Structure formats: C-alpha cells, structure tokens
Amino acid sequence: MPELLDPPSVADAARRPFTVAELAERFGSLPAWRVRTKPYPGTATREDAERLRDAGDLCELVDGTLIEKTVSYVTSVIAIRVAWLLMDFVERHDLGWVGGSDGYVDLYGGTLQRAPDVSLVLDEQYPDGLPRRGYVEGAPALCVEVVSPDNTRPEMARKRREYFENGCRLCWTIYPATDDGPATCEVHTPLTDDGGTGPEDGAGTVLTEADDLTGGAVLPGFAVPFAKALRRGA
C-alpha cells in the first residue's frame, strides 16, 4: 500500500492526500526519497528551504515542495572542472561570475529556487555587481547540470524549461560515463518550433568526448575539448 502523507490543516484535509509516488512522478519521475514530506508538500516556503540549507541539507524549492539535490564525488569533480574552464575564460575577458552548486537562483519571482551545478551570470545581467546577500534573481545566462545516478531525464527537461522561461540562454546537461556508455553533454538553447527564440526546450545537440564545448552566443570565442571537463590530462 502506498505511503500517504497526512495533510497539515483542515483546508488541506479537504483535498485527496498525495502519495509519495505521485509526488515523485510530478517532479520528474524522481526517486521517492528525494521528496521531503516535512513541511507538507505544497506548503514549504523560502524560509523552510533556507533553514535546511543552513543545516547543511541541499534542497531546491519547487512548487512549495522541498526536493533534495543529489550528489556524488564524480559529479562534483566534473562540475568543478567545468567551472574552472569557464572561470579561466570569463576572468580573462572580464565577462561576469561563475557560480557553484550552492549558488541558488530565484525563478518566477522567488516562488521557485533552483541550484545549477555550475552557472554563469554575465555583467550585463547585474551591471552594478552581484547582490551581497540572498540569491540571483532570474536564471543565469548559462546553466550547467551534471547528472547524478538519482537524477532523471524528465527532471532535467523540467529544469531546462524553468531556466529558459526565466532568461537562460544556454544549458549544458552532462551525463558522466557509466558501465553502459561514455560521457556525453547535451547542449540546449531556448528554441521554439518555428526556430525563433522562446522558452521551449530545443531538440539539443549531443556532444561526445571528441567534441568541443563552445559558448555559442553567450560566450563567443569560448571553446574547449569536452574531454577536459571529464579528466586530467585530456
């Protein structure tokens, strides 16, 4: 029998209670353990999310629900290497700021909070400098997600849509090598069906280790072997 979550109030009690499995499916076919059930899903606030982060728990706030970020050592190494490659270029050309996995961003006016594994905020987005406290408002120009075993493709597609709807212009979704195949990077831009710019997730391009990561219109001139993001000596 599926686990039912007890509604926290009379108002919520009028609704049919969610099952953990239903919630996990709603947020992108997630493993059920990643969905925090306290506070009750749908009622969590920014303050709840910040309290958990202060305690060392990395959670994103999605539709009033706290979703645990997945981590692994391999994905953290790749994320740091990507950040290092980006930072080298961005610093030399004085273009903006490169953030890490605890660099949360406020989307949809702060009702949703995500934390890309790596992100680039351009000077043009914050001409007066980054805010000294709190989070970046809107999506960074470039968002990078390094996929852990407990991430899912529907979850990644949802994140890209949210980033694009809030101003992101380029997404790299990196899938580390597994026993089933080599590493790949899916490159997406916000393309609509008619080829114009918009919030929809374009078909994307799949890179292999033989290809270069390029900055496109976001970082003209940036090009590094994708293999350099994966291992030393590449």
Would you give per-residue pLDDT tens digits along the chain (234 residues)? 333 333 333 344 335 566 767 777 788 888 888 888 888 888 899 899 989 888 888 899 999 999 999 889 999 999 999 999 999 999 999 999 999 998 999 999 988 999 999 999 999 999 999 888 778 999 999 999 999 999 999 999 999 999 999 999 999 999 999 999 999 999 999 864 344 444 445 558 999 999 999 999 999 999 999 999 998 765
d(CA 207, CA 209): 7
pTM: 0.84
Q: What is the pLDDT of residue 234?
A: 54
Supply the pLDDT for residue 9. 38
Tokens found for residue 126: 């914050």
How much is the pLDDT for 18?
66
Return d(Cα 130, Cα 230) in angstroms, integer: 29
The CA-based angle 212-77-151, given to 5 degrees, is 85
Decide if 114 contacts 105 (C-beta within 8 A): yes
The pLDDT value recorded for residue 110 is: 86
Contacts of range 229-232, beta carbons closer than 8 Å, 24 or more positions apart: 229/78, 229/81, 229/82, 229/85, 229/174, 229/185, 230/78, 230/81, 230/176, 230/177, 230/183
Other beta carbons within 10 Å of 211: 15
Task: Output the CATH code of domain 73-229.
Answer: 3.90.1570.10
CA atoms of 215 and 223, how far apart (whole Å)? 7
What pLDDT shows up at residue 28?
82
Q: What is the pLDDT of residue 175?
A: 96
Yes or no: say if 113 and 81 are a contact pair by the CB < 8 Å rule.
no
Domain definitions of the chain by residue range = 10-68, 73-229
